[in-house]
């Protein structure tokens, strides 16, 4: 029984992340909001958001935005020293 409880908890977290990621993708593609602001809006610290977004999507949030055709504010793409990717 204990295993099922842990599994259900984990599944809930995964669904929650998926909803947040979809909202972030919508904002990246449809707005020119700063990436750090989008990260915070969907409930994540910018450095964590950038790392997890890349892990799950295979590209950075800035690259996703570029591929969607929305102008990028490259100076704030990365929280790692503020350097554009």
Q: How confident is the model at residue 79 (pLDDT cuts 50, 70, 90)?
A: very low
Q: What is the dihedral of CA 12, 54, 63, 14, to 10 degrees?
A: -10
> Do 29 and 55 form a contact (C-beta atoms < 8 A)?
no
What are the angstrom distances between the C-alpha of 56 and each of 1, 3, 71? 30, 25, 22
pLDDT digits (tens, 9 = 90+) for 42-77: 999 999 999 999 998 999 999 999 998 754 444 444
The pTM of the full predicted model, rounded to 2 decimals, is 0.67
- Cβ-in-10-Å burial (0-12, 13-18, 19+) of 77 comes to buried
Q: Residue 24: CB partners within 8 Å, gap ≥ 6? A: 38, 39, 42, 49, 53, 61
């Amino acid at each position: 029984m204990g295993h099922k409880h842990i599994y259900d908890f984990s599944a809930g977290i995964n669904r929650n992340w998926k909803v947040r990621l979809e909202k972030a993708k919508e904002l990246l593609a449809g707005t020119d909001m700063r990436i750090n602001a989008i990260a915070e809006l969907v409930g994540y610290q910018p450095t964590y958001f950038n790392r997890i977004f890349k892990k799950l999507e295979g590209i950075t949030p800035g690259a996703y935005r570029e591929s969607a055709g929305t102008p990028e504010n490259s100076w704030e793409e990365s929280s790692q020293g503020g350097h554009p990717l």
